[in-house]
Amino acid sequence: MTDQPENPLREALADAIASNEVILFMKGSPEQPMCGFSARTCAALTATETEFAAVDVLADPRIRQELSSISNWPTIPQLFVRGELVGGADIVGQMYESGELAAVLGAPATAGSEPLPETTEPGSAPPLQIENRLG
Amino acid sequence: MPTADEVKARIESGIPGAEADVTSDDNVHFSARVVAAEFAGLNLVEQHRLVYAIFEDGELGGSIHALALTTETQ
């Protein structure tokens, strides 16, 4: 027995999911998304005026691998609200359109009534860095 | 590279009774609308997981670079 966790990266991810009310794992940053699906998901969150933590999975390939083991979800982005996986880009987009996303996030219900902007507004929250503690 | 028809066939054989409309312009990025009675009672995350489970580890994000997915019960 040791105090050293067996898988520090996985524990860091689990901790980030548990300690941030709204957290998005994405490719790139909200300011500079590196993939259209991540960009759309950011846009939906920004349109609901929700503050969220963001983690760039491209920082280290192991983040994506560990995250998918935790979430049982193969693709990026992944949105978690209060520790629960809400979904990827398709589900978040669908929930935004229906107004359900605003309800889940506790944002004003009118937020879903406007079409999504093409690009995200910069910075609702600073990006969260998951440190690579394995290297 | 899989074709849209191949992806459709795999989804329909992976979820018995499902009907899938799959389109792709480049055989790398796919868009699928899947209707299956089996989705009834499942939330969207669970519905999408059923479809994702048909594909092998690394296939989504690999040879199937993207699979935009809509699921419906009827």
Q: What is the pLDDT of residues B10-35, one digit of tens each?
A: 999 999 999 999 999 999 999 999 99
- Which residues in chain A touch residue B69, judged by CB atoms under 8 angstroms apart? 90
The residue type of A84 is E
- What does the pLDDT read at residue A115? 65
* Residue that wins the pLDDT comparison between A134 and B6: B6
Domain containing B20: what range?
4-72
One pLDDT digit (tens) per residue for chain A, 135 residues: 556 668 999 999 999 999 999 999 999 999 999 999 999 999 999 999 999 999 999 999 999 999 999 999 999 999 999 999 999 999 999 999 999 999 999 866 554 556 665 554 444 455 677 654 443
Where residue B51 falls (left for φ over 0; alpha for ψ -120 to 50; beta otherwise) is: alpha
Structural domains counted in chain B? 1
Q: How far is CA A53 from CA A45, A58, B34, B42, in A?
A: 11, 16, 32, 28
pLDDT per residue as tens digits for the range B28-65: 999 999 999 999 999 999 999 999 999 998 898 889 99
Which domain CATH number covers B13? 3.30.300.90
Answer whether B55 sits within 8 Å of A75, measured CB to CB.
no
Rounded CA gap, A78 and A90, in Å? 10
Q: How many CB pairs under 8 A join A and B?
A: 35
Interface list for A 76-135 with B (CB within 8 A): 76, 85-91, 94-95
